[in-house]
């Protein structure tokens, strides 16, 4: 394994916990599934979440390149944007967030609370893009303009999901494997949200590297299974290329797009049930955009028998709880 420079942002290792009350709630025919959680909502930095791990590599690369500001993209309630803004603040860098107003039919809190509020608190400059605008083209123009002004911007893609950022989740999977071994947990299934694809790709690369006989189920929050599969597969290839290694095995790439609903960031009844069930059984907060839909996917897999009750399931909590405060109308019933 090549050693690469990182800054320190996350509190690691994150907890690995059993969820006995959730497991009991899903008992069927006197059989109780064994559900565990990898708590990357507990990375600690700027409200926690999975992007802290990715940013450790990405910010180190930015500093090494001599950058004096970070530029990234996302939706208005982007968890990645929030943590990027905080990482920039910690390292004395400027931060520009290009946030797309692409989630329709949301209340006032969506544009004033949650991650948006925290972005402002961390001192980021924010430019809001209309849903009709080409965010990739605007990002390229913005980078060129900043460079022409004498700035030294470093661009981070949506979700921090390039090969370097995704590499952090190869590391995270190896961290989980060690914890599971210590706790006597033989992992049969890992379930996680799949958005920009980097977390899923890194975990898949780690599974392949460690030779674990488990299945990784990505619950898509924004794309068709076909589109998500192409993104994740490409990133796995890029991770191995970055490390200068060949893929000796290839884990199954499972994508479930049944929980997307009306679209990215749009609530569903299954998501609402999952968020409330987790809160009321384990006292753990999920979010409406990513982990709520991923947990809805896990519940469906268990209830329809796709995952057998005798198998061990790890739900990878990627954080995002600040987003709850942007959706008060969904839970105030």
- What whole-number distance in Å separates Cα of residue 83 and Cα of residue 45? 7
Find all residues with CB under 8 Å of 206, minimum gap 6, and list them. Answer: 169, 170, 171, 172, 173, 174, 177
Find all residues with CB under 8 Å of 182, minimum gap 6, and list them. Answer: none
Find all residues with CB under 8 Å of 276, minimum gap 6, and list them. Answer: 331
78 is catalytic: yes
For residue 207, give both structure tokens: 């599974």
- What whole-number distance in Å separates Cα of residue 160 and Cα of residue 83? 10
> Nearest-CA neighbor of 195 among 303, 300, 292, 307?
292
Find all residues with CB under 8 Å of 237, minimum gap 6, and list them. Answer: 247
Sheet holding 189-194, edge to edge: 16-18, 34-39, 312-317, 189-194, 215-220, 254-256
- What whole-number distance in Å separates Cα of residue 43 and Cα of residue 41? 6
Q: Name the catalytic one among 78, 161, 222, 312.
A: 78
- What whole-number distance in Å separates Cα of residue 167 and Cα of residue 268? 32
Give the three-state DSSP class for 49. coil
Q: Is the peptide bond preceding residue 13 cis, with omega within 30 degrees of 0?
A: yes
Residues that are catalytic = 78
């Amino acid at each position: 394994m090549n050693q690469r420079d990182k800054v320190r942002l996350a509190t690691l290792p994150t907890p690995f916990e059993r969820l006995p009350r959730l497991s009991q709630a899903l008992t069927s025919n006197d059989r109780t599934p064994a559900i565990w959680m990898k708590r990357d909502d507990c990375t600690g930095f700027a409200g926690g979440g999975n992007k802290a791990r990715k940013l450790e590599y990405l910010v180190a690369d930015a500093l090494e390149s001599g950058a004096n500001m970070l530029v990234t993209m996302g939706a208005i309630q982007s968890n990645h944007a929030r943590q990027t803004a905080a990482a920039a603040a910690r390292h004395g860098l400027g931060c520009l967030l290009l946030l797309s107003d692409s989630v329709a039919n949301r209340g006032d809190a969506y544009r004033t609370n949650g991650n948006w509020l925290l972005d402002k608190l961390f001192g980021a400059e924010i430019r809001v893009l209309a849903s009709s605008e080409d965010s990739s083209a605007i990002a390229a123009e913005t980078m060129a303009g900043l460079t022409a002004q004498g700035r030294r911007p470093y661009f981070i893609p949506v979700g921090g999901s390039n090969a370097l950022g995704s590499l952090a989740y190869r590391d995270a999977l190896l961290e989980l494997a060690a914890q599971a071994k210590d706790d006597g947990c033989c992992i049969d299934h890992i379930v996680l949200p799949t958005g920009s694809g980097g977390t899923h790709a890194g975990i898949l690369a780690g599974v392949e590297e460690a030779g674990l006989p488990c299945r990784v189920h990505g619950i898509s929050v924004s794309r068709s299974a076909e589109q998500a599969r192409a993104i994740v597969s490409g990133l796995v290839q890029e991770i191995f290329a970055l490390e200068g290694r060949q893929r000796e095995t290839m884990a199954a790439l499972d994508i479930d797009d049944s929980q997307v609903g009306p679209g990215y960031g749009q609530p569903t009844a299954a998501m609402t049930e999952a968020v409330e069930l987790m809160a009321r059984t384990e006292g753990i907060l999920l979010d409406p955009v990513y982990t709520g839909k991923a947990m809805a996917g896990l519940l469906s897999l268990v209830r329809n028998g796709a995952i057998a009750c005798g198998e061990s399931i790890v739900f990878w909590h990627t954080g995002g709880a600040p987003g709850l405060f942007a959706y008060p109308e969904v839970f105030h019933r």
